């Protein structure tokens, strides 16, 4: 079964972007093997706002060949190229995606979508690259309302740039 992995850069104070959606604060680190990271996924799952940011980056890049699933209340459901727009029944669609064949699914950005999928037990791992910066305000990694979700540390790595890479498994409440 494919895993749904929330993999995101986050400021030390818990923000994934500035209030305007910008991410110019993310620290560059040449020791991160992005090719190896991208090779683990064949599908990006994101909300419409995150999709707009990805689309604004232009064609090409590491995400170009990945299938994209965009959860949106404002865009009609359907397929456009390698993008599938889905609506309110997104948890059921994610269950079907996870049960299918392929590489893991990257839950890409979007604290609101992360919260919704976490609450219904569909997120398998939370993987954060903690940046050595305090933003003070912005888009939070996890939208409110907060429900306690137990996590289990899988790995922790400190990079020379000051980035700390953390990977947690999501525990079920039955465990």
Beta-carbon neighbour count of residue 86 at 10 Å?
A: 18
165 found inside a domain: yes
Q: Which pTM does this prediction carry?
A: 0.91
160 lies in some domain? yes
Give residue-wise pLDDT tens across range 26-58: 999 999 999 999 999 999 999 988 888 878 777
> What values do phi and psi take at 151, rounded to 5?
-125, 155
The answer to whether residue 5 is domain-embedded is: no
In a domain, 16, yes or no: no
Domain presence at residue 75: yes
Decide if 16 contacts 139 (C-beta within 8 A). Answer: yes
Q: Is the pLDDT of residue 173 over 70?
A: no
94 burial level (CB within 10 Å; 0-12, 13-18, 19+): buried
CATH of the domain at 52: 3.40.430.10
How many domains in the chain?
A: 1
- Enclosing domain of residue 165: 33-170
pLDDT tens for residues 122-167? 999 999 999 999 999 999 999 887 678 999 999 999 999 999 999 9
Asked if residue 43 is part of any domain, the answer here is: yes
Domain assignment present for 103: yes
What does the alpha-carbon distance between residue 125 and residue 32 come to, in Å, rounded to a whole number?
19
Does the residue 14 lie in any domain?
no
């Amino acid at each position: 079964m494919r895993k749904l992995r929330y993999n995101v850069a986050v400021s030390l104070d818990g923000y994934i972007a500035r209030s305007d959606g910008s991410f110019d604060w993310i620290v560059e680190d040449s020791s991160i093997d992005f090719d190896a990271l991208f090779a683990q996924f064949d599908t990006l799952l994101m909300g419409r706002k995150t999709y707009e940011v990805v689309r604004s980056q232009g064609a090409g890049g590491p995400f170009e060949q990945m299938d994209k699933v965009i959860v949106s209340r404002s865009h009609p459901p359907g397929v456009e190229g390698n993008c599938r727009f889905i609506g309110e029944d997104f948890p059921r669609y994610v269950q079907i995606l996870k049960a299918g064949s392929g590489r893991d699914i990257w839950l890409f950005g979007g604290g609101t979508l992360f919260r919704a999928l976490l609450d219904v037990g569909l997120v398998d791992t939370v993987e954060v690259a903690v940046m050595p910066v305090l933003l003070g305000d912005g888009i939070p990694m996890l939208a409110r309302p907060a429900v306690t979700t137990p996590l289990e540390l899988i790995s922790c790595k400190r990079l020379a740039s000051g980035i700390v890479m953390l990977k947690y498994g999501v525990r079920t409440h039955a465990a």
